[in-house]
Amino acid sequence: MPRLIFFGSLAALFFSSTFVINRALSLQGGHWVWTASLRFGFMLLMLIVILLVTKGKQALADVKELFFKHWLFWVISGSIGFGIFYSLITFSSQYAAGWIVATTWQTTILATPIVIALFGRKVPRNGLIFTGIIFIGIVLVNIEHAALTSLREVLLSALPVLGAAFAYPIGNQLVWESRMGYHPRLPHIQHPILENAFARVLLLTLGSLPFWVGLLLFVAPPPPTSDQPFSTALVALLSGVIATTLFLYARHLAHKPYEVSAVDSTQSLEVIFSLLGEIIFLGGVFPGWVGMTGILLTVLGLVAYISFQNK
């Protein structure tokens, strides 16, 4: 168990880099569109290299074949699950500290059951008390944010994250439904390469490319700052590759439900790591008692919810 907790916590540490670096780029004047789109450009290159090294040329050929055979499905699911999700996350970083975005992002735990229900799947109703605790914690964090800034700033930071919290599980659920072949309006995509997590991420990344091109053309942002290419590449490496690998490895090591629960629960540490990262690297300060109470309730609620659901 200590080994699982260690790798899960390490994954949360690398995942939290997204919130800290995005906030740093926004403070330096980097446009959010470049922050979002460049990350997925670098992720595309990194995933291609990873698959080539680990699975060989045939894996890339399989991904290529699968993408072009069902290109419309991958464009829709990639645009929602990666495009809309991450563009909203980066947009919100202009108006709130990284730890506030990280805390509000935990609403994806609440959004996922709703998304599953919308696809006609049965959702267990137990654990509602824990979702209530999480929600109260997120509200408290944003109340403190409003006290320090304004209602406008809160809305411009919280509402996009709430949208992202739904977009991410929608994209993932579309892929799951397609693999299982349960949904009559979705193609039934069966291929051994889909068992590889990096191949699935690569397919979704490829599908999101039209979204990023369209967003760049529509917003027409100024050229990226000198720091943005390196920083977004760093996010792609730390969060998109290293964190994902560590998290999947920790889950692979887990063989019992309570062990899976323990690994999943470590991801609540993203909130703590984001706060500490902002204080260390960006000169941030500890939140007041309202914000700290909100963080505590969110983390405890997440741990309890995931533990309860995996029993």
Is the pTM of the predicted complex or chain greater than 0.75?
yes
pLDDT range class, residue 245, cuts 50, 70, 90: confident
Mean pLDDT of 59-68: 95
| Residue pair 233/75 in contact by the 8 Å Cβ criterion | no
In this prediction, residue 130 carries a pLDDT of 78
pLDDT range class, residue 266, cuts 50, 70, 90: confident
**DSSP 8-state assignment for residue 83:** I
In this prediction, residue 81 carries a pLDDT of 93
Contacts of 158 (CB under 8 A, 6+ apart): 92, 96, 104, 142, 145
In this prediction, residue 80 carries a pLDDT of 97
Percent of the chain clearing pLDDT 70 (strictly above): 94
Helices (H), 183-288: 197-219, 228-235, 244-253, 257-265, 269-282
Q: List the single range of 156-160, 165-169, 255-259, 286-290 with lowest mean pLDDT.
A: 255-259
pLDDT range class, residue 129, cuts 50, 70, 90: confident
Mean pLDDT of 253-269: 72
3-state secondary structure of 220: coil
In this prediction, residue 126 carries a pLDDT of 65
27, 25, 23, 35: which is closest to 215 by C-alpha? 35
| Residue pair 177/81 in contact by the 8 Å Cβ criterion | no
In this prediction, residue 180 carries a pLDDT of 84
Q: Residue 251 and residue 248: Cα distance in Å, rounded?
A: 5
pLDDT range class, residue 124, cuts 50, 70, 90: low
Statement: residue 189 has pLDDT above 60: yes
Mean pLDDT for the chain overall? 89
pLDDT range class, residue 196, cuts 50, 70, 90: confident
Mean pLDDT of 295-310: 79
**DSSP 8-state assignment for residue 310:** T
Half-sphere exposure of 194 (CA within 13 A, CB side): 16
Provide the Cα torsion 192, 203, 116, 213; round to 10°.
-170
Mean pLDDT of 111-124: 81
Q: List the single range of 129-133, 174-178, 215-219, 259-263 with lowest mean pLDDT.
A: 259-263
| Residue pair 214/1 in contact by the 8 Å Cβ criterion | no
Q: List the single range of 2-11, 122-131, 273-282 with lowest mean pLDDT.
A: 122-131
In this prediction, residue 244 carries a pLDDT of 84
Q: Quick: pLDDT tens for 41-63.
A: 999 999 999 999 999 999 999 99
Contacts of 178 (CB under 8 A, 6+ apart): 70, 73, 77, 186, 187, 188, 189
Domain span at residue 230 reads 2-309
Q: Residue 14 and residue 18: Cα distance in Å, rounded?
A: 8
Statement: residue 311 has pLDDT above 60: no
pLDDT range class, residue 1, cuts 50, 70, 90: low
Q: List the single range of 34-43, 232-241, 281-290 with lowest mean pLDDT.
A: 281-290
**Crossing angle for the helix pair 128-148 and 108-118, to the nearest 10 degrees:** 130
Statement: residue 254 has pLDDT above 80: no
In this prediction, residue 248 carries a pLDDT of 74
Statement: residue 301 has pLDDT above 90: no
**Crossing angle for the helix pair 128-148 and 151-180, to the nearest 10 degrees:** 150
3-state secondary structure of 71: helix
Q: Residue type for 147, please? A: A
| The total number of structural domains that make up the chain | 1
Higher local confidence (pLDDT), 148 or 169: 169
In this prediction, residue 212 carries a pLDDT of 98
